[in-house]
Structures are given as C-alpha cells and as structure tokens.
Amino acid sequence: MKTLFFIIQKEFLQVFRNKSMLPIIFVMPIVQLVVLVHAMTFEIRNIPMTVVDHDLSGYSQRLVHKFAATGFFIIKNATPSTQEANNDLMTNDAKIVLEIPAHFERDLIRNTKAQIQLRVNAIDGVAAGLSNAYANSIIADFNQNIALEWMKVAKLQGGTRITIDESYWYNPELNYKTYMVPGLLVLLVTIIGMLLSGINLVREKEIGTMEQLNVTPIKKYQLLIGKMLPFLCIALFVMTIGLNIGYFAFHIPFVGNLLLLYAMAIVYLVVALGFGLLVSTLVDTQQQAMFIAFFFMMIFIMMSGLFTSIESMPKWGQYLDRLNPVAYFVRIIRMILLKGSGFRDIQTEFWSLVVYGITVFTIAIARYHKRA
C-alpha cells in the first residue's frame, strides 16, 4: 500500500512540475468545450439564395417576396443573368438558385401552367434535400394561394387530412448545446487521459528512468495502478469543471443521478487509461506511442456518435463500434444527464466497459516486463 502511495505521489509531482503541460491539461479542454460547442448544429437556416427573375411580373415578384419572408432563405443576389447565378453557386455565394423564366405570369394565366427552376448545391446531400423540400413547399403554397385568388374558387374542400402534432421530449426547445456539451466533455477528458497515459511508461523507457523503477521492489500491477490513479484524478477533476460549466453556463438539466454518473466515469476512465498504458507497454519510443494513440483516438472519436449518429453507420460499423469505449460513455453520460436513465437502462454498457477494462489491464500487465 505504501509503495503504491509513493508511486502516486511521484506521478503527481511530475505532472505539476511540468509547467508547460499544466495549461494544456487544465485550460485547453475547458476553452475548447466553451467555444466549440456553439458550432455543433445541423440546423439549417439563412440559406443564401440567388434569384434570377426573367419575368419581373407581379406574380414572380410575389413569389420572390414569399421566399424572402420565410427567414429560411436569404436572398443574397438578384440578377437577370443565369451565368452570374451559376457563378454564385460555384463560389459558394449561393446554395440555391431560383430561376423564373420570362412569361411566367402570362403562361400561368393563359395556359394555367408555368415552370420554374431550382438549382441546389447538393454536395451536402442531406441539407440540400431539406432545403429543396422547403423551397418546394413554399412554391406549392404560393401556387395554392394564386389558384384561390385567380380562379375565385372557394377553399378547396374535400381531401383527407391528417394533422400532425409533434413533441420533443427531454429537450423541447431543441437546444443542441445541452446534447453536445456532455459528449464533447467526454472526448476532451478522453484525449487528455489517453495521451498522458499512452506516453507515460514509454517516456520512462526512453529517458532511462525505467531501469530504476525496474530494480525497485514494486510489483507490476502496483506500478500500473500507481501510474493510472493520478491520471484518473486529473481526468475526473477536468470532468467536474466541465460539468459545472455545463450546468451553470449551458443549463444542462442534470436529470439523472450524479453518483451513478461518477461511478460510470471511473469505470470508463479505467478502460481509457488502461488502453493508453497498454499502448505504452507495446512500443519502444514516445513517437511510436503517439502515432498509435493518435490512430486509435481518431477512430474512437470519429465513431463516438458525437458528430454523426451511430445509427447512420452501416451494420458492420455498428458492430465494430462495440469495441469503442468512447461511444459507450458518450451514450451513458447523455442518458444519465438528459434522460435520467438509471442503472438498469445502462447495464449493457456498464458490463461491456467492465469486461473491456479487465481485458485491457490483463494484457497490459502481461505485456509489461520488468526489463529495460
């Protein structure tokens, strides 16, 4: 027990002695959390639009006004030139082009039929689909209005209708920040923990202090635990700051049980830090450790379900993601904080993490030889 205590003390000393690392460990994650979370939305609004109105009639102008009035589209440019409009699409000055042909009003009145064209920058397919659908509904609405006026028809009766009532539970205002803050916090804590633990052992190897540790009467598991506990404390500390910011600055509801959250956080961090230590035992130089840590961390982060949802992945990707500890904890922290899920709801995740942690540690202890 005493040996363990000394190792822990030594690690803490080393962390706090390194003045250039302190701001990176404690300040950078918080700054990133506070700044980056504001960017994380897919919500579509203010779509820049270019209008090419060849007709310039009463009707065409009304249609254009209708587009402008929705707030969904912003008319950045109105030009008579199709060429210029296409240029706007090219230069990203417009995401959508509405082109109204000459004789639009005349065609509509004489032939009861007219055509208009929408050109959408579809590189972001999902956003393009939504804005196209929205533009179409504006046009359909306009169509109905002038039909009513012009033909003096009474409101179209008949026709079946299904009214849709939508409700958004747990987050009725659809505030994306409450969802993103916990997830982002998990990533930040993971990166610190994994990078710190990933190069820790190998650093001792590289600078030669490992030999000294090897000749001391420390057991293998004592060394690994002693190296992990300080990082666990640091990670929990950063997480606590982050949660406070989430609560006070972003008004995250905190529905669930905080004790459960911390218990799960410890289990998770044991896996994450154990993974780092495992990497550290597998390599000879810090450089290699960094590359390997970087490789796995990128994959863990990109597949964590924070940026794009796990359900959108192909099936094999979802199976592969079961090996991703970050995905488990991102899910857990969101479920506990936002929905108040209890232990029963997150059992699967809990046991998966426990098995993961035991496996990682067993391998790390087996791989770590008390040799130089």
Partner 1 sequence: MHCVSTTNKQKMKKLLGFIRKEFYHILRDPRTLIVVFGIPVVQIMLFGYVITNEIKDVSIAVFDQSNDVRSHELINKIASSGYFIVEENVHSFNEINETFKRGKVKEVIVLEPNFGQKLERNQKSSIRLIADASDPNTANMIVNYTKGIVATYVNTINGNQQLPIQIETRGRMMYNPAMKGVYMFIPGIMTLILMLVSAMISSISLAREKEIGTMEILLSSPLNPAQIILGKLTPYFILSIINASLIISLGIFVFGVPVVGSLVLLMAECILFILVALSLGILISTVAKTQQVAMFMSQFALMLPTIILSGFVYPIENMPIPLQIISNILPAKWFIIILKDIMLKGAGFTFIWKETLVLVGMLLFFVLLSIKKFKIRLE
CB of 221 to partner 1, least distance (A): 25
Residue 129 sits in the site that holds partner 1 (CB under 8 A): yes
Provide the 3-class DSSP secondary structure of residue 178: helix
Determine, following the binding rule CB under 8 A, whether residue 195 of this chain makes contact with partner 1. yes
Q: What is the footprint of partner 1 within residues 212-241 (CB under 8 A)?
A: none
Q: Closest CB to partner 1 among 24 and 69?
A: 24
Interaction residues for partner 1, span 337-356 (CB under 8 A): 338-342, 345-346
Q: Which stretch binds partner 1 (CB under 8 A): 2-10, 88-96, 237-245, 357-365?
A: 88-96
Q: Which of residues 216 and 308 has its CB atom nearest to partner 1 in the complex?
A: 308
The residues that bridge with 77 in the sheet, in sequence order, are: 50
Binds partner 1 by CB under 8 A, chosen from 142, 247, 254, 262: 142
Task: Please report whether residue 34 would count as binding partner 1 according to CB under 8 A.
Answer: no
By CB under 8 A, is residue 81 in contact with partner 1?
no
Strand 47-53 vs strand 73-78: parallel, antiparallel, or unpaired?
parallel
DSSP lists the bridge partners of residue 98 as 51, 118
Q: Exposed (0-12), middle (13-18) or buried (19+): which is 256, by Cβ within 10 Å?
A: buried
Residue window 265-304: x/- pattern of binding to partner 1, with contact defined by CB under 8 A: ---------------------xxx-xxx-xx-xxx-xxx-
When asked if residue 44 is in the footprint of partner 1 (CB under 8 A), the reply is yes
- Single out the segment in contact with partner 1 by CB under 8 A; choices: 156-164, 213-221, 223-231, 351-359: 156-164
| Distance between start and end Cα atoms, the chain | 25
Q: Which residues pair with 51 in a beta bridge?
A: 78, 98
Contact by Cβ (8 Å): 47, 96? yes
Q: Interface mask (CB under 8 A) for partner 1, residues 105-124, using x and -? A: ---x---xxxxxxxxxxxxx
305 φψ region: left (φ > 0), alpha (ψ -120 to 50), beta (else): left
How many residues interact with partner 1 (rule CB under 8 A)? 119
Q: Is 61 exposed, middle or buried (0-12, 13-18, 19+ CB in 10 A)?
A: middle
Our finding on whether 312 is near partner 1 (CB under 8 A) is: yes
Token representation of residue 253: 């509801």
Q: How far is the CB of 242 from partner 1 (least distance, A)?
A: 13
What DSSP designation does 336 have?
A: I
Q: What is the DSSP string of 249-314?
A: TS-----S-HHHHHHHHHHHHHHHHHHHHHHHHH-SSHHHHHHHHHHHHHHHHHTSSSSS-GGGS-
Taking the C-alpha atoms of residue 263 and residue 266, their distance in angstroms, rounded to an integer, is: 5
What the block records as the tokens of 50 is: 């270019």
Q: Kindly report the CA angle at 286 between 280 and 290, in degrees rounded to 5?
A: 80
For residue 328, state whether it binds partner 1 (rule: CB under 8 A): no
Measured from the CB atom, the residue of 229 and 346 that comes closer to partner 1 is 346
Taking a C-beta distance cutoff of 8 angstroms, is the pair 264, 329 a contact? yes
Residue 15 lies near partner 1 (rule: CB under 8 A): no
Q: Does 313 bind partner 1 (CB under 8 A)?
A: yes
Q: Which lies closer to partner 1 via its Cβ, residue 132 or residue 222?
A: 132
Q: Is 24 in the site for partner 1 (CB under 8 A)?
A: yes
> Which residue lies nearer to partner 1 by CB, 8 or 128?
128
| Identity of the residue, 139 or 236, whose beta carbon is nearer to partner 1 in the bound complex | 139
Q: Which of 106, 219, 221, 317 binds partner 1 (CB under 8 A)?
A: 317
Closer residue to partner 1 (CB): 197 or 226 = 197
Instruction: Please report whether residue 250 would count as binding partner 1 according to CB under 8 A.
Output: no
For 40-93, the three-class secondary structure string (H helix, E strand, C coil) is CCCCCCCEEEEEEECCCCHHHHHHHHHHHHCCCEEEEEECCCHHHHHHHHHCCC
